[in-house]
Amino acid sequence: MPSHAISVDGCTITPASLPEWRQGRTGIQADLADFLEQWWSDFPTMPLHTSGSTGKPRLLEATKAAMTASAAATCQAFNLLPGSTALLCLPLRYIAGQMMVVRALVGGLNLIVTEPSSTPLNKLECNIDFAPLVPMQVTSTLNQPGGEASLARIRTLLLGGGFVDTTLESRLQALPCQVYTSYGMTETLSHIALRATNGPQRSEMYTPLPGVHLSLSPAGTLQISVPYLGINTLTTNDLSEIAPDGRFRILGRVDAVINSGGVKIQAEDIERALYNQTGLQVVALPLPHPALGQCVALLWEGEALQESALRAACATLPRFHQPKHLQHVILPRTESGKIARARAAALLSNP
C-alpha cells in the first residue's frame, strides 16, 4: 500500500477521503485525522513531544524521511507484512503512538484503533499481529478476569515506555505470544534495540537493530549512531555496558546517581530492590547531608499501613543505600504511566 493511503479498522483512507472520514470523529480518531493531515502535507518534518519522564517536556522536529526509515526497520524486524493487523492504543501526542501510524502507512498494515486507557484490549474482538503497550497497560490487563486470554490474541507484544519489573516479567512467561521490551527514545524515533522478554530467547541484554552502531562515552553512557535515521553519536544519560557481540544492558541513568560518603549509588538499584520486596512504587533521590554530602531520600506511594513493611525492606539494603528520609506522596506520572522523576523530585521536602 502506498504511503498516501492507510487502512484503519479495515477502511482505506486517502488524502482525498480524509475530510469525509474525520467528520464526527472524537478522541484518538480525531487525533489520527490531525496526524494524517500533517503527514500528507507538503512540510518535510513532523513535531515530536518528549514525555517529560526525566525532565521538562520538549518539542522536537523529525523529518518524515527518517520516520519512514524507522517504520520500515520495525516492519522488517517483526516480519510485518501488508495486511498485518497493528494496534494503536497509545496517545498520538508522543512518538510511540505516532510511529504506529507511520508503520501502518509504510508497511500497508491494517491499523486497529482503540482509545488509550489502562485496559485497551477490553473491547477488542479481533486477533492482533503487533501491539506496542506500556507496562502499566499490560499489568492492568493481566489483573482483570480473562486478561491473559486477551493478551494471548496478540502475536507480538512490544513493551516500552516504562520499567518492566520482575513480577510483570515473570507473569509474561505464561503468555503464548512473543514479548519484547524496547529501548529507544523520542530522539531515536522509537526503538533502536529489542530484548526478548519471554520464551527460549529470553535475555537481559538488548540487541540493536541492523544499522544501529553503539559505543560508550567517557562517562560510561550509551552513545547511538544510526546513519539511516540521520543520528550521529547521540549521547544518552543511560549508563551501559556493551558485550563483545554488540548486545548491551542498561545499568541506570547517570543523572540518577547518588554520591553518599563517596559511595556512588544507582537510584534504580534501590527502587528495584524495594519494589521486589514490597511491590511499592518508590523513587530514590539525593538529599543534601552535612557529613555525607548526599544521602538517599525516598518518595513512596501506597497505603499508609504499608510503611512499616517498607521500612523493614529498607533495613535490608546496604548501609549507604538505606534511605534517611521517607516521604509518602502520590507520584506524578506521564500519559504513558511512567513516573515523572523531575516532577517527583520537586515534591521532596527537606526534613
Query: Strand, helix or coil at 46?
Result: strand
In 3D, which of 235, 231, 232 has the Cα closest to residue 216? 235
Q: How many CB atoms lie within 10 A of CB 129?
A: 19
Residues counted in the chain: 351
Domain with CATH 3.30.300.30 in the chain: 261-345
Helix ranges (H only) for 160-266 are 166-172
241-291: pLDDT as tens digits: 999 999 999 988 888 889 998 888 999 999 999 999 999 999 999 998 888
Which superfamily is assigned to 6-209 in CATH? Answer: ANL, N-terminal domain (3.40.50.12780)
Instruction: Report the distance separating Cα 338 and Cα 90, nearest Å.
Output: 13
Q: Which CATH number fits domain 261-345: 3.40.50.300, 3.10.20.30, 3.55.50.30, 3.30.300.30?
A: 3.30.300.30
What is the rounded distance in angstroms from the CA atom of residue 278 to the CA atom of residue 268? Answer: 15
Cell of 269: 538499584
- pLDDT for position 52: 57
Where in the sequence of the chain do the CATH 3.40.50.12780 domains occur?
6-209
| pLDDT tens, residue by residue, 178-218 | 999 999 999 999 999 999 999 999 999 999 999 999 999 99
Query: Given pLDDT bands bounded at 50, 70 and 90, which one contains residue 1?
Result: very low
Cα 278 to Cα 260: distance, rounded to the nearest angstrom: 24
More confident residue, 36 or 348: 36
Give me the sheet containing 85-88, strands edge to edge: 11-13, 6-8, 110-113, 85-88, 128-133, 154-159, 178-185, 190-196, 207-208
